[in-house]
Amino acid sequence: MSAHLVLIDALNLIRRIYAVQERPFIQSKDQLNGELAAKTQQQVLFNTQQASITALENILKQVQASHALAVFDSHNPCWRNKLYADYKKGRKKMPVHLANELPNIQDAFLQLSVDSLLSEEDEADDLIATLATKMALHGQNVTIVSTDKGFLSLLSPHIYVYDYFNRRYLDENYVKEKFDIKPAQLVDLWTLTGDNTNKIPGVAGIGQITAASLLNEYGSLSGILKSDNLKPSIQDKLSGSKEQIALSRQLLTLKQNIPLGFNLKDIRLEQTTAQVD
């Protein structure tokens, strides 16, 4: 029987839920020196855990999964930080009290038969990409639950991306409307334009409209770089950014070959009887 694996970008889900629960207390009398009062912190954490459990229940019901896994980022700097020191520079850090609560949320997820996976060096994105592509290669379906645009590059007949907060699937039509290219061209697009969310630079002077136009004409970044009929202004920009292009593409490309060390049967949901080789 075919499997349907749901992969939850856990911190993407939990941190957004936490932000919603915390918002009413921001700039209120429960905040002191930029920090929530201890009693308020506990209330927000409790609300976050309960809302996360509800979200997981809703996701499993919506997706009708046979297998599920919540994937967490490592607490340590990942390989991208080692490669490029400014990666995600300036991004707001997770509150310590929320980080300390994660094991309890993971235990609550396990009560719903959803185990958690955390890598010491790779990001959750890389682990999710590896799992998703391995499943797709075997003709099995995968739904990635995240609002992270990076997963859109993985879209295929067997890989879906679901935005839980807006209750919608982000599909090829969504990519076309937002970026004017195909999902498989997204990494090339962001290599040219940069990815401000993660502080990954692009080619100076090339924006999304120009990058999409070039990709639609030449098919890929490789095709663009090999072309001998580019406008001189574009050629000059690309020629002066070869090292940057190589670095940015490496940072933007999700790993798909991480050794996982477990079998699909290990993450089968208890309520399903699906048999997977």
- Please indicate, yes or no, whether residues 88 and 119 belong to a single structural domain of this protein: yes
- Please indicate, yes or no, whether residues 149 and 210 belong to a single structural domain of this protein: no
- Please indicate, yes or no, whether residues 229 and 208 belong to a single structural domain of this protein: yes
Instruction: For residue 7, give the H/E element and its range.
Output: strand 4-9
Evaluate whether residue 274 is within a structural domain: no
| DSSP assignment letter at 18 | H
Evaluate whether residue 263 is within a structural domain: no
- Structurally, the chain folds into a number of domains equal to 2
The pTM of this model reads 0.92
Give me the pLDDT at residue 204, please.
94
Give me the pLDDT at residue 275, please.
36
- Please indicate, yes or no, whether residues 42 and 122 belong to a single structural domain of this protein: yes
Ligand-binding annotation for 266, yes or no, is no
- Please indicate, yes or no, whether residues 186 and 170 belong to a single structural domain of this protein: no
Pick from 20, 92, 86: nearest CA to 52: 20
- Separation between Cα atoms, residue 135 and residue 44, nearest integer Å: 37
Ligand-binding annotation for 9, yes or no, is no
Expressed as residue numbers, the domain containing 213 is 180-252
Q: Answer for the pair 30, 36: CB distance below 8 angstroms, yes or no.
A: yes
Give me the pLDDT at residue 7, please.
98
| CATH number for 208 | 1.10.150.20
Evaluate whether residue 139 is within a structural domain: yes
Measured between alpha carbons, how far is residue 174 from residues 134, 167, 169, 213 in Å? 24, 14, 9, 17
- Please indicate, yes or no, whether residues 222 and 141 belong to a single structural domain of this protein: no
Ligand-binding annotation for 95, yes or no, is no
Q: What are phi and psi of 72, to 5 degrees?
A: -115, 150
Last residue of a domain, which of 124, 156, 175?
175
Ligand-binding annotation for 186, yes or no, is no
- Please indicate, yes or no, whether residues 100 and 201 belong to a single structural domain of this protein: no
Note the Cα 157 to chain centre separation in Å: 19
Going residue by residue through the chain, which has 277 residues, state the pLDDT in tens, using 9 for 90 and above: 588 999 999 999 999 999 999 988 875 655 555 677 888 899 999 999 999 999 999 999 999 899 999 999 988 889 999 999 999 998 888 999 999 999 999 999 999 999 999 888 899 999 999 999 999 999 999 999 999 999 999 999 999 999 999 999 999 999 999 999 999 999 999 999 999 999 999 999 999 999 999 999 999 999 999 999 999 999 999 999 999 999 999 999 999 999 988 888 889 997 643 333 3
Evaluate whether residue 231 is within a structural domain: yes
Evaluate whether residue 257 is within a structural domain: no
- Please indicate, yes or no, whether residues 71 and 101 belong to a single structural domain of this protein: yes
Give me the pLDDT at residue 277, please.
32
- Please indicate, yes or no, whether residues 93 and 119 belong to a single structural domain of this protein: yes
Ligand-binding annotation for 137, yes or no, is no
- Please indicate, yes or no, whether residues 218 and 153 belong to a single structural domain of this protein: no
- Please indicate, yes or no, whether residues 128 and 42 belong to a single structural domain of this protein: yes
Three-class DSSP labels, 3-51? CEEEEEEHHHHHHHHHHHHHHHHCCCCCEECCEECHHHHHHHHHHHHHH
- Please indicate, yes or no, whether residues 40 and 87 belong to a single structural domain of this protein: yes
Evaluate whether residue 271 is within a structural domain: no
Angle in degrees, 0-180, between the axes of helices 232-239 and 242-252, rounded to the nearest 10: 70
